[in-house]
Amino acid sequence: MELRTLGKSDVKITPLGLGCWQFSQGRGLVSKFWPVLETQVMDDIVKAALEGGINWFDTAEVYGGGNSERALAGALVRRAVKPGEVVIATKWWPALRTAASIGKTFPARQAALSPYPIDLLQIHQPISLSSIEKQALALAGLLKDHKVRSVGISNFRGEAMRAFHRVLKEEGQVLASNQVRYSLVDRSIEADGTLAVAKELGITIIAYSPLAQGLLSGRFHDDPAALKAASFMRRQYSGLNPEGLKKTEALVRFLQETAKKHNASASQVALNWLVRFHGDTVVAIPGATKVKHAQEAAGALQFTLTKEELATIDTLSRS
């Protein structure tokens, strides 16, 4: 798989990474989106991602209170992956905390991911008790001390991203990325200017929920009864309901038709569009609760969509 530069940092990543939210192992509120995965299943998912050419993994402190980080590190160790052979991204949880917590809790993040270094540390949400300036300065300190290779933010909108970028630039550092919810059924970052600012400043957009929690796979359109198996939180978060299926029917059917032409799946077409349509600006981190999901994601760039297919998908998505 090709490599891209993460923003203006020196970190090189594949256009698709593996999101590890689903490795929370049932701990904490945010884990309720996913089933509890056995260690062997998580190991096999990581193995499939690596074998498919994916070179980076995204996790977070809040995903099971460190469970996801530990599960990821354990899976990599058991695969005999050496530190430095993969790129690791994690996130600091800012709610009810000040910027001072970034440095204080960093050793815990290092311990959870040991023996792997943290290549990208992100602010998970724009809801800290401290200002953007203080948070950015805390990240700049970690960069200057060579404790992380790059820093980013998550769920920040255009002007807040610009402000974060400005403070880091004044410190001689760069804001590498902004991780946001982005898919063919949620293109709000285009409307609110976030994507435009990212392109202007050379900041990579990391798209999470790129398949809208499976909505774009076509599985639920083909078998609406499968909606009942999805958790309540997942259904509420992603529009997995009869109304959502109706709104996305035309788009998903075209994804399926296009997939047949390329010997691919609807999910692969959706991922391919997402990381190609805006040049190198957007990368994506699909999750996986089964080995086949990781294998499918890893194979999403093995074909080239035509200009006409890209344009039609764009039009159907907007409608």
* DSSP string over 275-314: HHTTTTSEEE----SSHHHHHHHHTTTSS---HHHHHHHH
pLDDT given for residue 30 in this prediction: 72
Q: Cβ-count burial of 253 within 10 angstroms (0-12 exposed, 13-18 middle, 19+ buried)?
A: middle
Residue 210: pLDDT band (50, 70, 90) is very high
Burial class of residue 84 (count of CB atoms within 10 Å of its CB; 0-12, 13-18, 19+): exposed
pLDDT, position 241: 80
pLDDT at 214: 86
Q: Is 1 exposed, middle or buried (0-12, 13-18, 19+ CB in 10 A)?
A: middle
Q: Is the pLDDT of residue 131 over 60?
A: yes
Residue whose entry in the numeric block shows the structure tokens 């994507």: 195
Upper half-sphere CA count for residue 43 (Cβ side, 13 Å): 10
Mean pLDDT of 103-127: 98
Q: Does the domain made of 4-215+268-305 have the CATH classification 2.60.40.10?
A: no
Give Rg (Cα) of the chain: 19
Helix and strand numbers, DSSP H then E, in the chain: 14, 10
Is 93:124 a contact under the CB 8 Å cutoff? yes
Instruction: Please determine, for residue 236, whether its predicted confidence score (pLDDT) is greater than 80.
Output: no
Place of tokens 């939210």: 21
Among 152-156, 235-239, 303-307, whose mean pLDDT is lowest? Answer: 235-239
Average pLDDT rounded to a whole number, residues 101-115: 98
In terms of Cβ atoms closer than 10 Å to its own Cβ (0-12, 13-18, 19+), residue 222 is exposed
Using alpha carbons, select from 306, 282, 58, 300 the residue that is nearest to residue 190: 282
| Residue (of 148, 52, 42) closest to 91 by Cα position | 148
Q: Quick: pLDDT tens for 259-275.
A: 999 999 999 999 999 99
Average pLDDT of the residues in 78-104:
98
Work out the average pLDDT over 242-271. Answer: 95
Instruction: Determine the 3-state secondary structure of 201 from DSSP.
Output: helix
Does residue 237 have a pLDDT over 80?
no
pLDDT for the residue 220: 78
Confidence at residue 284, expressed as pLDDT on a 0 to 100 scale? 98
Query: Does pLDDT of 24 surpass 70?
Result: yes
**Residue 160 pLDDT > 80:** yes
Where residue 26 falls among pLDDT bands split at 50, 70, 90?
Answer: confident
Confidence of residue 29 (pLDDT cuts 50, 70, 90): low
